[in-house]
Amino acid sequence: MTLLSVREIGKRFGKLRALDDVSFDVQSGTFHGLIGPNGSGKSTLLKAIAGAHFADEGRILFAGRDVTWMAPHERSQAGMSLKFQITAIIRELSVYDNMLVAVQAAEPVLRLLRSATRAALQRHILNALDRFRLRGRSSELAGELSHGEQQWLEIAMALARGPKLLLLDEPTAGMSPQERRFTGELLAPIKAHCAIVIVEHDLDFIRSVCDRLTVLDQGRVVATGCVEEIGRNAKVQQIYTRRV
Ligand code: ADP
Ligand code: MG
């Protein structure tokens, strides 16, 4: 089933065409990578999908609805979740409390006040921390986590609402090779209930994690296809050899 359909999106910043006639589809249960040189429009595209800014042209369909003119919180209620390049954790709160903030944003406060729900809530948070290898650190301040752990906490927080689609902008930037591998392992089980659109510089990482890729260059789609097709694509090879 098509979960997300980006159709002929255009976005200008003054005279600069940051996105030009960009179209691609994301199926449920798949991870879709966005790659391309610096400044090719990847972050701008993620923001347009999440509603952080509106596109000037085109349409965005999500879970059977036209979300083109929806505000970010409406898209979030519809089942989208965005993790930006810049971290959103609260460094002065514990790891557990960061999760609590994220979950509470998703749950009506009155339900949280009922103790039965509170126990369930605690279980839910500890399970999530467990999945992201953070349970042993739940009482530590989030600011004391390593860079990689902070990224995982943020992904766990972005998943707190049980989204249908998670948008990730360079989650492995600044990570060690081992942390990157862990990240791939942590993301894999999400596929059962949530699709991902992920921007990445690290081509090996994105090849290992994604089912399909869209390549952007100067705001335009160069190619969309499965990882093998993109690897063979002459235009894509040209872009990446041009860079070095
Ligand atoms: P990428 O994420 O692929 O590196 P971006 O989407 O961040 O690229 O940027 C695409 C182009 O749009 C770049 O030339 C960038 O300088 C420009 N751009 C991005 N955001 C803004 C903005 N808010 N105002 C003006 N120009 C912007
Ligand atoms: Mg970017």
HEC secondary structure over the chain: CEEEEEEEEEEEECCEEEEEEEEEEEECCCEEEEECCCCCCHHHHHHHHHCCCCCCEEEEEECCEECCCCCHHHHHHHCEEEECCCCCCCCCCEHHHHHHHHHHHHCCHHHHHCHHHHHHHHHHHHHHHHHCCCHHHCCCEHHHCCHHHHHHHHHHHHCCCCCCEEEEECCCCCCCHHHHHHHHHHHHHHHHCCEEEEECCCHHHHHHHCCEEEEEECCEEEEEEEHHHHHHCHHHHHHHHHHC
Q: How much distance in Å is there from the Cα of 198 to the middle of ligand 2?
A: 11
Comparing 30 with 108, which gets the higher pLDDT? 30
Residue 177 confidence class, pLDDT cut points 50, 70, 90? very high
Atom 25 (ligand 1): residue with closest C-alpha? 13
Q: How much distance in Å is there from the Cα of 42 to the middle of ligand 2?
A: 5
User: What pTM did the predictor assign?
Assistant: 0.92
pLDDT of residue 55: 95
Q: Which of 17, 20, 43, 44 to mutate to test the pocket of ligand 1 (most atoms within 8 A of CB)?
A: 44
Q: What is the mean pLDDT of the chain?
A: 91
Q: Which of 11, 12, 13, 46 to mutate to test the pocket of ligand 1 (most atoms within 8 A of CB)?
A: 13
Ligand 1 and 142: CB distance under 6 A: no
pLDDT of residue 51: 94
Q: For 118-137, what is each residue's pLDDT tens digit? A: 788 889 899 999 999 999 99
pLDDT of residue 60: 98
Residue 213 pLDDT more than 60? yes
